[in-house]
């Protein structure tokens, strides 16, 4: 009987389980605020309305100068064949 009376006289904040139950949602709220901050701070810029036209113009510019695509073509060919080029002698 004395143990039950002792438990009833202790305030609620003295129980560890109460703080464990409160800590769960508090941690989730803090994590969501941090996640929102990271997402808002590092968001991508908004695209122009005519981004497609600019991309087509860029592709035309690159097609006019095939030398600018040489490293990409060389890497693609190497990836497909797996044969390494022999170094050229000076």
Q: Give the pLDDT band of residue 54 (cuts 50, 70, 90).
A: confident
Contact 68, 62 (CB under 8 A): yes
| Residues 61, 20: Cα–Cα separation, whole Å | 62
Whole-model pTM: value is 0.43
pLDDT digits (tens, 9 = 90+) for 2-52: 566 655 688 888 898 999 999 999 999 999 999 999 998 988 877 777 777
Structure tokens at 23: 């800590």
Q: What is the pLDDT of residue 22?
A: 94
* DSSP classification of residue 65: -
Alpha helix (H) residue ranges in the chain: 2-8, 16-41, 51-64, 70-81
User: CB within 8 A of 74, min separation 6: which ones?
Assistant: 85
């Amino acid at each position: 009987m004395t143990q039950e009376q002792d438990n009833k006289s202790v305030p609620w904040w003295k129980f560890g389980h109460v703080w464990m139950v409160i800590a769960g949602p508090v941690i989730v709220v803090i994590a969501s605020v941090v996640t929102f901050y990271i997402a808002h701070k590092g968001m991508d810029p908004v695209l122009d309305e005519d981004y497609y036209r600019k991309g087509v113009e860029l592709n035309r510019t690159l097609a006019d100068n095939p030398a600018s695509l040489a490293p990409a073509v060389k890497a693609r060919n190497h990836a497909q064949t797996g044969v390494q080029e022999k170094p050229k002698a000076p």
